[in-house]
Structure 1
Amino acid sequence: MDELKILLNDLWEVLKDIAYFFTVKLFSIGNSEITLITIVYLLISVILLNFFSNRLSKFIGNTVLKKYTTIPSTAQSVSTIIRYVFLIVGMMVIVQTAGIDLSALSILAGALGVGIGFGLQNITNNFISGIIILFEQPIKLGDRIEVGDIKGDVLKISARATTVVTNDNISVIVPNSEFISSTVINWSHNDRNVSFRFPVGVAYKEDPKRIKALLLEVAAENPGVLDSPAPDVLFDEFGDSSLNFFLRVWTSDFTSRPNILKSQLYYSIFEKFKTNNIEIPFPQQDLHLKSGFTQTNKS
């Protein structure tokens, strides 16, 4: 019995030492004393806040908003904004429940503002640009965009950067500020229907009306070409070696793969012209020699 009391007393002393270790003052922020247990509380709370904000954002975007909108980009934008609001409000609640005097953080906020002005301005710029993108939606999930030398489909819009996937399945991380400060070509801003013009040249002896009819047949036979708006053939110019046309087609299946559609149409055009004996010219140059050259007699 005495041994049990001694063991319990020793255990009690150890627990008091541990409690003292966690409650001893490390530093102060204003009138608030920061202890190890305060730091542990903050870390656990922030991790849980981030976890639940992600789950809440996905639940709202994938379940709630699907009942009110069929546009994935709109649901993603709203759910992301809700997540930011949840994080900001949650951080304020966590700091207050930890017993930290928020008024004492004004000096820290001022110093942080100076740091943002000098060292973190790019991060801040990208974050604010991300908020603008989510609200104004100049680009959306699934859009076919072109910014600088990058062409691809928008896969993800986050707080700092946007992920663009190219036709080679390469993910390119583009800072959000690029979409605000640079010229961006959005091929599918309103819808996925886009128009392409493919040049075609034939010999001068061919009938332009017949060429137009054959090119329209090729367009009509391709399942990737839309019937409405209808394909068209434009007579572009009298070239040096050929009559030049443009086959103009509309497509929604090949918005992100125009070269594939171009290849399919050119294969079909070649076969169609071959079957109908249409000559496809190649550049030619005639050399005319003027008279007056002296002839040398060979002995």
Structure 2
Amino acid sequence: MEEIYNILNLIGRNLHEIWHYTILTISGNSVRVSNIIMAIALFLAGFKYSGHFSKYVKNCIKSKINSDKDAANAIEKLILYTALCIYVVTILEIAHVPLKTFAFIGGALAIGIGLGAQSIIGNFISSLIIMIERPLKIGDIVEMEGVLGTVTSVGARCVVLNTFSNVEVLVPNSKLMQNSLVNWTLTNSAIKHQVEISTPKTSKFNYQEFIRALKTVIDNLEFAHQHTDETEIYLTKIDSHQFTFLINFYCNIAQFQNPEYVKGTLNIALLEHLKDYEFTVVYPKIVELKPLSDKSDKTPGD
């Protein structure tokens, strides 16, 4: 029995010595095995439960902020980033690794990390700028380099766009800051559409009745936006064979999921209301309602 006690006592002393064994000393702080094990355990626990913490924060913020999804998303990201920094500092303190140590090794690592993680750091900084300036928000309809879609997520690395073909496109945040971005719904969702309608020139043609019929078609469209300006209809061209009318009207882009929906719905309405006329329809390029630059920036004569 005494032999077993001695053996257990020996094992206990060895484990105690291993637990308190100093691996290295950094700036006067002894980094022991116990510190490393506790830091690793805390890191693994944080890695495992980080998803639950993120979900808890998201639910708390959504319960407080229901109207502004983008503000809730920005607050959520800032809280998670702050919690991550505090968590990393806590792990380093438990491991007895002083923060001032990184001042010595930072110079050596700065070049390597700077070159290897340049794009990652750039995307992260761009995400902070997006959260502060808010050039786009969750739910906005944006267009960049020919890609048109709805913003579904603004992350630390990229913005996720859901196109009208239900394709998820990941756009790096730094690319959003460096390239031109068209936000169709930044201040409102009204955009201007132009339609050219040509009809054969006949002696019985009554242009006033034709204009009234066109106005009725546009006014009955469900997505037509009631803007300060009414629907504009102009007789823009007269030749020996036909009349050409130009229609300018505003529509609410938030009410349809595909730009082709406007053309399809309008074509059907024209067929129903212009049964007594022969006509052809041409759709010029969509005209942006909001100019890219302020008119006050233009110099006289531009």
TM-score past 0.5 threshold: yes
Give the letter for the 1:254 counterpart. Q
Given the alignment of the two structures, is residue 176 of structure 1 paired with residue 178 of structure 2, yes or no? Answer: no
Query: Whole-Å Cα distance in 2 between the matches of residues 101 and 32 of structure 1?
Result: 8
Deviation, 1:236, is: 6.4
Contact 1:53-1:86 within 8 A present in 2 as well: no
| Greater relative CO (CA pairs within 8 A, separation 6+) | 2
Contact 1:31-1:101 within 8 A present in 2 as well: no
Matches within 5 A, 1:200-239: 200-205=197-202, 206-229=205-228, 232-235=231-234, 237-238=236-237
TM-score by length of 1: 0.78
Query: Whole-Å Cα distance in 2 between the matches of residues 259 and 282 of structure 1?
Result: 14
Contact 2:163-2:169 within 8 A present in 1 as well: yes
Q: Which residue number in structure 2 is paired with residue 38 of structure 1?
A: 35
Matches within 5 A, 1:1-299: 2=1, 10=7, 13=10, 23-27=20-24, 29-46=26-43, 47-48=45-46, 50-51=50-51, 53-66=53-66, 70-205=67-202, 206-229=205-228, 232-235=231-234, 237-238=236-237, 242-254=243-255, 256-273=257-274, 275=275, 277-281=276-280
Give the letter for the 1:48 counterpart. G
Query: Whole-Å Cα distance in 2 between the matches of residues 237 and 16 of structure 1?
Result: 99
Contact 1:216-1:231 within 8 A present in 2 as well: no
1:91-140 CA-to-partner distances (Å, cap 9, x unmatched) read 22332233212111212322332223322111111110001001110011
Moved more, 75-84 or 170-179: 75-84
1:144-181 CA-to-partner distances (Å, cap 9, x unmatched) read 00111221000011111111110111111110011111
Moved more, 250-259 or 156-165: 250-259
Query: Whole-Å Cα distance in 2 between the matches of residues 282 and 228 of structure 1?
Result: 24
The 1:63–1:37 alpha-carbon spacing in structure 2 relative to 1, beyond 3 Å, is farther
Give the superposed CA RMSD.
3.0
Q: Which runs of 5+ in 2 are unaligned?
A: 283-302
Moved more, 56-65 or 137-146: 56-65
Deviation, 1:269, is: 0.7
Contact 2:144-2:182 within 8 A present in 1 as well: yes
Query: Whole-Å Cα distance in 2 between the matches of residues 77 and 45 of structure 1?
Result: 27
1:39-71 CA-to-partner distances (Å, cap 9, x unmatched) read 4433443452734651453144212334xxx21
Contact 1:53-1:87 within 8 A present in 2 as well: no
Give the letter for the 1:271 counterpart. E
Runs (4+) of structure 1 moved beyond 6 Å?
A: none
Deviation, 1:17, is: 5.2
Deviation, 1:29, is: 4.2
Give the letter for the 1:126 counterpart. N
Q: Which residue number in structure 2 is paired with residue 295 of structure 1?
A: none
Query: Whole-Å Cα distance in 1 between the matches of residues 199 and 15 of structure 2?
Result: 90
Give the letter for the 1:263 counterpart. G
* Identity score, percent: 20
Query: Whole-Å Cα distance in 2 between the matches of residues 239 and 175 of structure 1?
Result: 50
The 1:243–1:45 alpha-carbon spacing in structure 2 relative to 1, beyond 3 Å, is same
The aligned length equals 275
Moved more, 176-185 or 217-226: 217-226
Contact 1:141-1:156 within 8 A present in 2 as well: yes
Query: Whole-Å Cα distance in 2 between the matches of residues 242 and 27 of structure 1?
Result: 90
Deviation, 1:239, is: 7.0
SS in 2 for 1:102: coil
